[in-house]
């Protein structure tokens, strides 16, 4: 690779910073069994799944390849535990959630090491994930004590109505590999807060932080309220979706997995909560602060190496400022530091999660090249070991190009142009996904009007990928339904019951 000369600055070739030694995770690895009713237990078959460090390509652990029988044992424990847990007061549950937050805080270092080793995340991303995980438990502890429902009253003569809010029962949870601990927390915290018990299946690629969580919680929270069965989607995930004693199944993952879960769950008329893929448009109007927009895309398009369902990956910029914006963007992205998690605090981009995913991202880049698109920066894989891809900017992308509509889930940002506000809105909405979008403008009228016209569950103005526990996260259209975070998640994981008392003579 050679340096690329643009009109005003020189782009240095991307290289991967390596650490001096391999990360020492042996001392912090959790046990490899399933976690059922407060203890680690072996799987029913003894078959194992290898867990790979995507930075080194080395196998760092093996976990149980769970079966439907393993799920059944875990669900039976969860059914029993839920009866007691569901009868506790909000204060008692809040105390347990605060305790969970404190225990994670006490073990912060171990969680960060495990998460970075299993996903290749830079330290800064793992630190942020663990901090957000702690905050999620603390928020849900407080929020659970504020839950109310419609006031009771007399709506029929001589009859008084009371509205009760109840847990749904046992909830099956299926999580993805991109934020293994944080996505687990987004489910576990509100589900427990609402009085349910859980059987969770982490991604078969990244089970270690979820197993670590239950290892450090064992004996300190009631047995059976939080059970883990490791394994694959088509076995463990499938059984969670069909099990008659599971009242609701919540999945964060791809559209295809969401469809499979919803289809299976329909047979037992199970409630379903789906957080699926995204392809977030970033709409840059001509009056925007272009430097700020480019810096925003540098952060939000490449955070977690772009393996983020809300990643700022599809820029739509007004044609009058496209050239200037793209120049700022290339300058910004060209400074990203790539490397192993322990190669320095300033590393910003790690590898793709796995060999198959790395191959998929490379295929998307090859397809863009074959279609004659302008790869303005990056565009290639980096030398191994590890599944590293160069931060990539593809500019002058024509309307409707495949690269700008399908989820790549890697460090790749595309830039398209528009010529009118109406076209910007239409094109942004021309997506099978509806998770998140951003609008960049200094015009106060546009900043109110455009978000209302965009079909996405979150719309930022002059920001992207800023999250807070108080506000809901979730999508429209192909991005699924149900809300994570906020009081809306507590709503999703509880049910209302109407009790009507006849007190007439
Ligand atoms: P994935 O769908 O491959 O896997 C997610 C989970 O579903 C895994 O635990 C997997 O084992 C399980 N699974 C797969 N097939 C299943 C089936 N048939 N039945 C039951 N479970 C099954 O997704 P991934 O590759 O781990 O994660 C990336 C995807 O997740 C991306 O599409 C991304 O956009 C999405 N995601 C969405 C959000 C959000 O909040 N909307 C957050 C993170 C990731």
Q: Domain coordinates of the chain in residue numbers? A: 34-276+479-499, 278-468
For the CA of 258, the nearest atom of ligand 1: 2
For the CA of 484, the nearest atom of ligand 1: 40
- Ligand 1 site, CB within 6 A: 174-178, 183, 201, 203-204, 232-234, 237-238, 241, 251-254, 257, 260-261, 275-278, 309, 407, 409, 435, 475, 479
d(CA 325, CA 395): 11
Secondary structure (DSSP) of 98-113: HHHHHHHHHTHHHHHH
Nearest C-alpha to atom 28 of ligand 1 is from which residue? 253
d(CA 489, CA 469): 10
How far the first Cα of the chain sits from its last, in Å, is 90
d(CA 313, CA 391): 11
34-276+479-499 CATH: 3.40.605.10
Nearest alpha carbon to residue 214 among 192, 246, 238, 232 = 192
Q: How far is the CA of 172 from the centre of ligand 1 (A)?
A: 14
Digit-by-digit pLDDT tens for the chain (505 residues) are 445 555 567 888 999 999 876 667 999 999 999 999 999 999 999 999 999 999 999 999 999 999 999 999 999 999 999 999 999 999 999 999 999 999 999 999 999 999 999 999 999 999 999 999 999 999 999 999 998 888 899 999 999 999 999 999 999 999 999 999 999 999 999 999 999 999 999 999 999 999 999 999 999 999 999 999 999 999 999 999 999 999 999 999 999 999 999 999 999 999 999 999 999 999 999 999 999 999 999 999 999 999 999 999 999 999 999 999 999 999 999 999 999 999 999 999 999 999 999 999 999 999 999 999 999 999 999 999 999 999 999 999 999 999 999 999 999 999 999 999 999 999 999 999 999 999 999 999 999 999 999 999 999 999 999 999 999 999 999 999 999 999 999 999 999 999 999 999 7
Tell me if 66 sits within 8 A of 235, measured CB to CB: yes
Nearest C-alpha to atom 14 of ligand 1 is from which residue? 233
**Token output for 256:** 């295809």
CB within 8 A of 266, min separation 6: which ones?
none
d(CA 273, CA 202): 16
Which residue carries 């659970």 as its tokens? Answer: 144
Nearest C-alpha to atom 39 of ligand 1 is from which residue? 275
Nearest alpha carbon to residue 215 among 40, 95, 71 = 40
Nearest C-alpha to atom 10 of ligand 1 is from which residue? 233
For the CA of 353, the nearest atom of ligand 1: 25
Q: How far is the CA of 225 from the centre of ligand 1 (A)?
A: 23
Nearest C-alpha to atom 20 of ligand 1 is from which residue? 237
Give the residue numbers annotated as catalytic, written as ranges. Answer: 275, 309
Residue 499 burial class via C-beta count within 10 angstroms: exposed 0-12, middle 13-18, buried 19 and up:
exposed
Q: How far is the CA of 178 from the centre of ligand 1 (A)?
A: 9
d(CA 495, CA 196): 11
Q: How far is the CA of 472 from the centre of ligand 1 (A)?
A: 19
Hey, which of 257, 306, 456 would you mutate to test ligand 1's pocket, going by the most ligand atoms within 8 Å of its Cβ?
Answer: 257
Strand 412-418 relative to strand 458-461, pairing? unpaired
Hey, which of 209, 254, 486 would you mutate to test ligand 1's pocket, going by the most ligand atoms within 8 Å of its Cβ?
Answer: 254
Does the domain at 278-468 match CATH 3.40.309.10? Answer given as yes
d(CA 221, CA 386): 38
Q: How far is the CA of 248 from the centre of ligand 1 (A)?
A: 17
Q: How far is the CA of 258 from the centre of ligand 1 (A)?
A: 7
For the CA of 278, the nearest atom of ligand 1: 34
Res 8: pLDDT: 64
Q: How far is the CA of 346 from the centre of ligand 1 (A)?
A: 29
For the CA of 480, the nearest atom of ligand 1: 41
DSSP-derived 3-state class of residue 36: strand
Nearest C-alpha to atom 43 of ligand 1 is from which residue? 309
Question: What is the spatial order of strands in the sheet that 271-275 belongs to?
Answer: 39-41, 34-36, 226-228, 197-201, 170-174, 248-252, 271-275, 480-481
Q: How far is the CA of 256 from the centre of ligand 1 (A)?
A: 8
Q: What are phi and psi of 463, to 5 degrees?
A: -165, 170
Res 505: pLDDT: 77
Cis peptide before 385 (omega within 30 of 0): yes
Hey, which of 176, 241, 433 would you mutate to test ligand 1's pocket, going by the most ligand atoms within 8 Å of its Cβ?
Answer: 176
Nearest C-alpha to atom 17 of ligand 1 is from which residue? 233
Nearest alpha carbon to residue 71 among 212, 198, 211, 192 = 198
For the CA of 176, the nearest atom of ligand 1: 26
- Quote the pTM value: 0.97
Nearest C-alpha to atom 8 of ligand 1 is from which residue? 203
> Angle, nearest 10°, between helix axes 108-119 and 123-143?
120
């Amino acid at each position: 690779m050679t340096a690329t000369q643009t009109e005003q600055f020189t782009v240095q070739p991307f290289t991967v910073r390596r650490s001096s030694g391999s990360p020492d995770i042996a001392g912090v690895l959790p046990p490899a069994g399933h976690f059922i009713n407060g203890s680690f237990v072996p799987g029913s078959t003894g078959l194992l799944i290898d867990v790979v460090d995507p930075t080194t390509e080395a196998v760092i652990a093996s976990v149980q390849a769970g079966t439907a029988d393993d799920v059944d044992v875990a669900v039976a424990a969860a059914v029993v535990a839920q009866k007691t847990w569901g009868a506790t007061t909000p204060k008692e549950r809040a105390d347990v959630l605060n305790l969970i937050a404190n225990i994670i805080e006490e073990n912060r270092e171990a969680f960060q090491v495990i998460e970075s080793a299993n996903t290749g995340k830079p330290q800064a991303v793992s630190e942020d994930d663990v901090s957000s995980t702690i905050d999620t438990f603390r928020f849900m502890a407080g929020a659970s004590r504020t839950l109310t429902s419609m006031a009771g009253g007399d709506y029929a003569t001589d009859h008084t109505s009371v509205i009760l809010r109840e847990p749904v029962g046992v909830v099956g949870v299926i999580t993805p590999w991109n934020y293994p601990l944080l996505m687990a927390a987004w489910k576990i915290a509100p589900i427990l807060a609402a009085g349910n018990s859980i059987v969770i299946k982490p991604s078969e690629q990244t089970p270690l932080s979820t197993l670590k969580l239950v290892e450090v919680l064992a004996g300190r929270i009631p047995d059976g309220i939080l059970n883990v069965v490791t394994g694959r989607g088509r076995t463990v995930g499938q059984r969670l979706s069909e099990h008659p004693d599971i009242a609701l199944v919540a999945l964060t993952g791809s559209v295809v997995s969401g469809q499979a879960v919803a289809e299976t769950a329909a047979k037992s008329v199970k409630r379903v909560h789906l957080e699926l893929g995204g392809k977030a448009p970033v709409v840059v109007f001509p009056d925007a602060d272009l430097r700020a927009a480019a810096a925003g895309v540098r952060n939000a398009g490449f955070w977690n190496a772009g393996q983020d369902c809300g990643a700022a990956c599809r820029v739509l910029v007004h044609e009058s400022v496209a050239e200037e914006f793209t120049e700022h963007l290339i300058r910004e992205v060209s400074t990203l530091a790539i490397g192993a998690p322990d190669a320095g605090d300033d590393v910003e981009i790690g590898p793709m999660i796995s060999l198959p995913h790395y191959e998929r991202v490379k295929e998307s880049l090859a397809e863009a090249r074959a279609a004659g698109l302008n790869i303005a920066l990056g565009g290639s894989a980096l030398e191994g070991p590890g599944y590293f891809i160069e931060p990539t900017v593809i500019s002058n992308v024509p309307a409707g190009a495949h690269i700008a509509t399908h989820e790549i889930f890697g460090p790749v940002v595309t830039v398209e142009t528009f010529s009118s506000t109406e076209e910007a809105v239409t094109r942004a909405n021309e997506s099978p996904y509806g998770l998140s979008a951003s609008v960049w403008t200094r015009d106060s009228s546009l900043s109110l009007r455009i978000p209302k016209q965009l079909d996405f569950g979150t719309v930022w103005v002059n920001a992207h990928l800023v999250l807070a526990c108080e506000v809901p996260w979730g999508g429209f259209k192909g991005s699924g339904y149900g809300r994570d975070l906020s009081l809306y998640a507590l709503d999703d994981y509880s049910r209302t019951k109407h009790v009507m008392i006849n007190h007439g003579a």
